[in-house]
Amino acid sequence: MSDLNHCDQPVRVAVLYGGRSSEREVSLSTGVAIGDALRERGHLVTMIDPRDPARPTRHINLLEALEEVKVDLVFNALHGTYGEDGCLQGALEWSGVPYTGSGVKASAVAMDKDMSRRLFTSAGVPVARAVTWRSGDALPAEGQLPEAPWALKPLAEGSSVGIQKITSYTELTAQLADAQGSWLIETWLEGVEVSVMVLDGEAWGGVEIVPSSGWYDYEAKYVRGDTQYFCPPRLPQQRLDEVYSLAERAYEALDCSGVARVDFICGVDTLIALELNTSPGMTATSLVPKVAQSRGVAFGALCERLMRSALARAKELSDGRPE
């Protein structure tokens, strides 16, 4: 691989997008936006959708596909299962192909809401009270649960896929009776929702999210188009500084790389981290590009910055390996 650490020459980059997770449509939009931006800046872009077109429930042999196109870098625009949970990262590490975003450990831990919450707590990043439930377990007794209402969340999904607001114990047990997989039952806290962009350990800023429905679910994020965004958030500077500091601490606690997004709820007397996303969306309505734009960094320049980060990380790892 040539020395492309400063992107001063065209990079041969494969944009991975689509896939077969529940976040496929978001990933397709993200990938197209990134691919177009990099082409406009003179890079040599190959778009690869790992989902096998002949068998949509299967993946193509991704490493063979990458070997055929001889890329310098993989730009990971995949979301959800197989894309940001450590599976892809492990395969790319094995093959020696540099890639954007966090490594195997951070990706896997960030996708597991239970494990990431544990690491947040140990690092002094506050989280809401919660319990974990897995299909096959006995239904939790009401006295074992944190205070209602609850957010019922799949333990390993993003883009608000599958999240429900539950207001009563009867409703909760009815939902769990037929549920499969692992779920987080978390106290639902009201407040201002703020998403913070962290790049290479530095909080670049945040976005305040005001959905028309009062809840920033999948429909509010990607379908209705009536959510309001305020960048920077309309919070006192002291409160913002606190949020940004906690975002950097969460990023460090999970040992992230590249860009990540940390989501918070800021109440009158509370401040809690909801989750950390190691592969945040990069669509027209996505939050990370909004923050970058507020700092005067256009979308294409942001994509190049993420490539530089990935190439620098790959060089550090290569220099540290024994001959």
pLDDT category at 60 given cuts 50, 70, 90 is confident
Please determine, for residue 51, whether its predicted confidence score (pLDDT) is greater than 90: no
Are 166 and 152 in contact by the 8 Å Cβ rule? The answer is yes
Of 12-26, 177-191, 290-304, give the range with the top mean pLDDT.
Answer: 290-304
Cβ atoms < 10 Å from Cβ of 16: 26
Q: What is the pLDDT of residue 132?
A: 94
**Which DSSP state fits 144?**
G
Give the torsion sign (CA, 186, 187, 193, 196): negative
Q: What is the pLDDT of residue 159?
A: 43
pLDDT category at 7 given cuts 50, 70, 90 is low
Please determine, for residue 162, whether its predicted confidence score (pLDDT) is greater than 70: no
Q: What is the pLDDT of residue 212?
A: 72
Are 88 and 66 in contact by the 8 Å Cβ rule? The answer is no
Are 275 and 156 in contact by the 8 Å Cβ rule? The answer is no
CATH architecture for the domain at 12-101+297-320? 3-Layer(aba) Sandwich (3.40)
Digit-coded pLDDT (tens) for 280-303: 999 867 999 999 999 999 999 999
**Pick among 1.10.1070, 3.40.50, 3.30.1490, 3.30.1360: CATH of 130-187:** 3.30.1490
SS3 label, residue 169: helix
Could you give the angle at which helices 299-320 and 24-40 cross, rounded to 10 degrees? 90
Provide mean pLDDT across the span 267-283: 92
CA angle 304, 7, 284 (to 5 degrees): 15
Closest by CA to 110, choosing from 318, 266, 274, is 274
- State residue 89 phi and psi, 5-degree precision: -60, -40
Cis bond leading into 53, ω under 30°? no
Determine which helix (DSSP H) or strand (DSSP E) holds 84, and give its type and residue range: none
Closest by CA to 128, choosing from 176, 190, 41, 76, is 190
**Which DSSP state fits 181?**
S
Q: What is the pLDDT of residue 142?
A: 93
Provide mean pLDDT across the span 218-224: 51
Q: What is the pLDDT of residue 320?
A: 62
CA distance 292 to 285: 13
SS3 label, residue 176: helix
Measure the CA dihedral 109/115/116/122, to 10°: -130
Indicate the domain borders of the chain.
12-101+297-320, 109-126+190-278, 130-187
Cis bond leading into 232, ω under 30°? yes
Catalytic residues: 23, 159, 222, 261, 263, 275, 277, 281
Compute CA distances 271 → 68, 202, 252, 263, whole Å.
48, 20, 19, 11
What is the topology classification, in CATH, of domain 109-126+190-278?
Answer: D-amino Acid Aminotransferase; Chain A, domain 1 (3.30.470)
